[in-house]
Structure 1
Amino acid sequence: MPWFLYLLECADGSVYTGIAVDVEARFAQHANGTGARYTRSRKPVRVLAQFELADRASALRAEYRVKRLTPREKRALAAGERTLESVLPAPPEPSDHAEPEAEAPA
């Protein structure tokens, strides 16, 4: 089941970052005051962007990285000036010193 990383613009101009399976339903929770504590006092205005990820673990890792961005960087991500991949760490490269595979007995 895919998960989504989403960015919300709040009434005070700040950008909130979260994850959810259903972004519209989660936005409704934020809007009616039952979402995160952050958005209770800074009413969300709109969804700036959402990005589909493979699973919850991937969404959590992406959320951690995006939350470390400045508001300007988050807005650039939402506007498509940056890609989500540019924020995430590069996948590990295969090692040149990999163990040789054992041969099957004859």
Structure 2
Amino acid sequence: MAFYAYILLCNDGSYYAGHTDDLETRIAQHQSGALGGYTVKRLPVKLEWAQDFPTRDEAFDAERQIKGWGRAKKRALIAGDWDKISELAKGRAG
């Protein structure tokens, strides 16, 4: 079984990060408002990025890491721009 970390783009332009073991169902739950919370007041949402992981712990760790990132770093991840992610990480450390 695969587990996923994902980023949604909300209708207000904000990003939401989460994790799940059923990506299709989870996105449908967000879209319908069934989950409540952050996304329910920011519908519709659009899946911008997802990655599969072998364990729930790894997917959850990725979600927590992404939630700690700023908007520019999330955009770089969505674009697959690893150089930009590295550059942004160095800037924060300095």
Partners in 2 of 1:28 and 1:11 — Cα distance? 15
The offset of 1:45, in angstroms, is 2.7
Query: Which residue of the partner structure matches residue 60 of structure 1?
Result: 60
* Alpha-carbon displacement from aligned partner over 1:35-87 (angstroms, at most 9, x marks no partner): 2400011114310010011110111111111100012211110111138xx6x
- The equivalent residue for 2:49 is 49
Deviating runs (4+, > 6 A) in structure 1?
A: none
Structure 1 residues not aligned, in runs of 5+: 87-106
Name which one, 1 or 2, has greater alpha-carbon Rg: 1
Letter of the 2:8 partner, please give it. L
TM-score by length of 1: 0.73
Q: Sequence identity of aligned pairs in percent?
A: 39
Unaligned residue ranges in structure 2 (runs of 5+)? 87-94
- Aligned residue pair count: 84
Greater per-residue helix proportion: 2
Task: State the TM-score, normalizing by the size of structure 2.
Answer: 0.82
> Could you say which residue in structure 2 is the equivalent of 1:14?
14
Give, in whole Å, the separation in 1 of the partners of 2:35 and 2:82. Answer: 27
Does residue 25 of structure 2 align to residue 38 of structure 1? Answer: no
